[in-house]
A and B are shown apart, each in its own frame.
Chain A
Amino acid sequence: MIEVVDVHKNFARQEVLKGTNLTIEEGGITTIIGGSGSGKTVLLKTMIALLLPDRGQVRVDGTDITRLGEKPLNEVRQKFGFLFQGAALLDSMTIFDNVAFPLRERTRLGEDAIGAKVRERLDQVGLKDMGYKYPAEVSGGMKKRAGFARALVTDPRIVLFDEPTTGLDPLLAKSVHQLIAAMQSRVGFTGVIVSHDIPEVFTISHRVAMLADGVIADSGPTEEFLRSSSPTVRRFLNSDTSEPADTL
């Protein structure tokens, strides 16, 4: 479904991705873990061409999206939903309008149908009566939920999550994980989560991959991954801090 093939990405003189290879299979939730600054978010953003690799390919359903023009790229992007780390809700709109925005701009649905769909998604994420509020008026957890509702409102096949629990307390983080798992099983999207919220994130992951030093150190179904013999993975899972994070 998504194939990341030999992707290299530099920022200034820092090489973040050094020939990363990863395949995201259809269905279920794949979690990408790794130390802070290991390039997880960069990898996630290359999957939807928000960042273009310096070298390598990112194939979505067989199409290399790194070489597409705006129109065909947008057709591919319509398969995606994206929950940003800070939710990235548009400040000037209410939560309702934020969730309705992609429907109003990308579909020919009437305002009644849009309203019904938006209310359904807001209800599912627990923000039934919050649609009238502006992003600045709600908590971080509510913003994440609203961002999730916006990511799901167009019924995407793939949803990308960038650190969905960062900045949330453990209870809220757990509720966000449960929400992602519940919506995944209900809607059936393919989820890709970037997180360093371990071990909690493993409870909702079907597959796990670990990014370290610009390459995938190991990947596989969650149970297998947790038994990985890779020293890098073992050190990370055991929270061994004897080595600096950038060597992981």
Chain B
Amino acid sequence: MARVEPSPRMTALLANIGGRTLGYVAGMGAGVIFLGSALAWAARPPAKVRLIIQQIRAIGVDSLLVVLLSGLFTGMVLGLQGYYSLRKFNAESFLGAVVALSLLRELGPVLSAFMVTGRTGSAMAAELASMRVTEQIDAMHSMALNPVKYLVSPRVVAGVIAMPLLTCMFNVIGIWGAYLVGVGLLDLGSGSYISGMEQAVQLRDVVEGLIKSATFGLIITWVCCFKGFHALPMATGVGRATTEAVVLSFVLILVSDYFLTSVML
């Protein structure tokens, strides 16, 4: 039987697919090693308390306004939509429960993580990418110092601490926003809103939401630091690293949200 020679175009296509696949796998491996290194430095004393506090400020305080604003309007729109949807079933009294459970378990952690990614994660990636371009990261290596210890570990620790706190703020102001709409603008009773919430919400709902938000804090800081740290040392490297960091963070937040929810439900 005659041997069939593969066409050069097919060979090139397969080589291209194989090369890209290997590149993605190598990138994922490098990302996991990077995270392991950051966590190992974070666990090694002495803790870089001053740097961690600086980063908590950068992540927490600087993102607070945007988180509060988005929380308020998310709660308000939930109140509005929830009220008219529940009224169809004469179940307006469940508004407090619906709003609180949606925010605590799902919307609070996810939306506040999106806000932090856009506000602080992008800045983090851009800052580290800029340090790569201007050889500041190389300078640390040349001083026999590991830049992951100073630039990445404090950010990862700060992300895990600050993200649940921001989520709590988002939840509180979101519940208040829905209260404003449901009780203030529409004709729902205040007692009905509060008691519905009180009966439906359990401590577990709050804790699960906070576990999610801490995980998202880890993901955002890890991905944004990784992309910034490994930016191409050229002017376009900063923009590219920032875009990739934000997009990948969004995707990983949603993917991990599904898996965390399926495990915790």
Residues of the B chain whose Cβ atoms lie less than 8 Å from the Cβ of A70 = 146
Q: How many A-B residue pairs have CB under 8 A?
A: 54
User: CA–CA, A154 to B142, complex, Å?
Assistant: 12
Whose C-beta in chain A lies nearest to the C-beta of B133?
A86
Q: Are A78 and B134 in contact (CB under 8 A)?
A: no
Task: Give the distance to chain B from A9, nearest Cβ to Cβ, in Å.
Answer: 15
Contact A106 B135 (CB under 8 A): no
- Interface membership of B145, Cβ < 8 A: yes
Q: A101 in the interface, Cβ–Cβ < 8 Å? A: yes
Task: From B134, B138, B143, give the contact of A102 (CB < 8 A).
Answer: B143
- Report yes or no: A90 in contact with B135, Cβ–Cβ below 8 A: no
**A17-51 interface code vs B (CB 8 A; 1 in, 0 out):** 00000000000000000000000000001001010
Contact A86 B135 (CB under 8 A): yes
Q: Which of A69-88 contact B (CB under 8 A)?
A: 70, 74-75, 77-78, 80-82, 84-86, 88
A133-150 with Cβ < 8 A to chain B: 150
Bound Cα distance A84, B134 (Å): 9
Chain B residues within CB distance 8 Å of chain A: 131, 134-136, 138-139, 141-146
Residues of B within 8 A of A78 (CB): 144
Which of chain B's residues have a CB closer than 8 A to the CB of A150? 143
B146 touches A82 (CB 8 A): no
Contact B145 A88 (CB under 8 A): no
Q: Name 19 interchain pairs, CB-CB below 8 A, sorted by A.
A: A48-B141, A50-B141, A50-B142, A70-B146, A74-B144, A75-B144, A78-B144, A80-B142, A84-B135, A84-B138, A84-B139, A84-B142, A88-B134, A89-B136, A91-B131, A91-B134, A101-B145, A105-B145, A154-B143
Most buried by B among A84, A150, A154: A84
- Contact status B143-A90, CB under 8 Å: no
Instruction: With both chains docked as a complex, state the minimum distance between the C-beta of B151 and any C-beta of chain A, in angstroms.
Output: 10
A50 and B136 CA atoms in complex are apart in Å by: 12
> Can you name the residue of chain A whose Cβ is closest to the Cβ of B140?
A90
Residues of A close to B144: CB separation below 8 A: 74-75, 77-78, 102, 106
> Which B residue's beta carbon lies closest to that of A162?
B135
**Chain A contacts of B138 at CB under 8 A?**
45, 50, 84, 88
Is the CB–CB distance between A88 and B136 below 8 Å? yes
**Known A88-B136, A90-B131; 8 more pairs at CB < 8 Å:** A50-B138, A84-B138, A86-B135, A89-B136, A101-B145, A102-B143, A102-B144, A106-B144
A14 to B127, alpha carbons, bound, how many Å?
29
Shortest CB-to-CB span from B155 to chain A, Å, is 13
Query: With the chains together, A110 CA to B136 CA distance in Å?
Result: 25
Docked complex: A85-100 residues within 8 A CB-CB of B: 85-86, 88-91
